[in-house]
Amino acid sequence: ALMPGMKRFWPRNVARLASTSCSSRYSALTKQLYEINAWRPAKLGLRNVTQLHELLDRPSRRVRIVHVAGTNGKGSVCYKLARALQLGGQRVGLFVSPHISSFRERIQVNAEPIGEEQVVNLLQRLLPMCKDNEIPATFFELTTIMALQHFVEERVDYVVLETGLGGTLDATNVVEHPQVCVITSIGLEHTRVLGDTVEEIAAHKAGIIKPGAQVVVGPKCPHPVIRPIANEQGATYHEVPSLPEDADDVDAENARIVQRVMDLVVQQDKAVKVDQLPLALLERPPCRFEEFVVRVRTPSNIAVKRMAGDPAAQTPSSQDCGPNSVRCILDVGHNPDAITRLVQKVMGVHGPKEVFSVVCGFSRDKNISSCLEQLGEHCRSHVATLHTCDSPTA
């Protein structure tokens, strides 16, 4: 039976939407998609996504998949991998979350976000499918299935698939035969769902490991927990060793994980080229230590000098930051380990004498007190202003 409130979500006359412009339909349908979890709390499990997967004739079986989980680094690893495969001559689907400015960022083919019309077409098929089959799919379950179906329709050669939360019960774990499984790092996060210890969380994330797969595991993982799980599945375990430089540069660690994955891909598929791999390893997703300078010329004229996205861009110099300029660093770190690495990176790049003001926001399911403790250890002033955000997850 349908859950309470479910009928309030399902499309308000999808046929009527068909007569409106594509942009209007996109806005209306994505609005409904965002509203799903307001009526129905997100819940881990594979029942809904498996039903949708079956109804679409198991799209994940028709593409080669690299499945990526981890506490930190999985987004960066996914972007680097997708770029490496694309520069290697492949057509590549990328599924990542969350998005920064547009829902379409979550689903990309060769670095191009899915089009509004394609989103509309997929949702106009999937939403009635859920209603007709009484499948109370969540936002992330629908988005995962949208991505897999889109990649099949776009005839991609490879899909780089990032988990949402955990691994075992994450919607992306509907995939049955990934070519490579990757676990980037393990730290304390989502403890109310995944467990209170690193070992419990590692076991959840290792749930993406499938029989016979190649498994690449980063240095900041409890290998005594993950390796036996891989052995039980008959998977081949590849441990990426820790290096001293990892302490100051997590991007170098992520790059070495990607290099190991690409070694395995090339062993299985000689059509993939690696001559441009060094360029691909420079790829970074938005808001990962993304640095720029804002120059304020007049109250109504603000020029922004972006420092991210261009591998040749340099860190702004002291000359860049004049009396009418402000240096900004954007980062999506949202757990204690990520905050620690962010502070280390800032100190390493700018030194202990440069002063920064910190503005941070967290959703309520994060370990906010531990994150603030990490920041507080490096604050010269403990003056803080707290604001609430008009968001159901804040």
Percent of the chain with pLDDT over 70: 82
pLDDT at position 391 = 65
* pLDDT band at residue 318 using 50, 70 and 90 as cut-offs: very low
Mean pLDDT of 101-114: 96
CA-to-CA distance for 264 and 262, rounded, in angstroms? 5
CA-to-CA distance for 257 and 70, rounded, in angstroms? 12
* pLDDT band at residue 5 using 50, 70 and 90 as cut-offs: very low
Mean pLDDT of 252-265: 97
Taking only the tens place, the pLDDT of each residue in 13-46 is 454 555 567 889 999 999 999 988 776 666 778 9
Is the confidence at residue 204, as pLDDT, over 50? yes
Taking only the tens place, the pLDDT of each residue in 358-384 is 888 887 767 777 778 777 777 766 666
pLDDT at position 42 = 64
Is the confidence at residue 110, as pLDDT, over 50? yes
* pLDDT band at residue 183 using 50, 70 and 90 as cut-offs: very high
Mean pLDDT of 147-172: 96
Positions of E strands within the chain: 64-69, 92-95, 107-109, 112-113, 158-162, 180-185, 214-220, 236-239, 290-298, 301-306, 325-330
pLDDT at position 286 = 78
Question: What pTM does this model have?
Answer: 0.80
Handedness of CA 76, 137, 109, 235 (dihedral sign): positive
* pLDDT band at residue 180 using 50, 70 and 90 as cut-offs: very high
pLDDT at position 301 = 45
Mean pLDDT of 168-184: 97
Mean pLDDT of 79-94: 98
Helix (H) or strand (E) holding 12: none
pLDDT at position 223 = 97
Q: Which of 136-150, 244-258, 289-303 has the lowest mean pLDDT?
A: 289-303
Tokens in use for 289? 């230590």
The alpha carbon torsion through 35, 103, 202, 198 (nearest 10 deg) reads -80
Is the confidence at residue 317, as pLDDT, over 70? no
| Averaged confidence pLDDT in the chain | 84
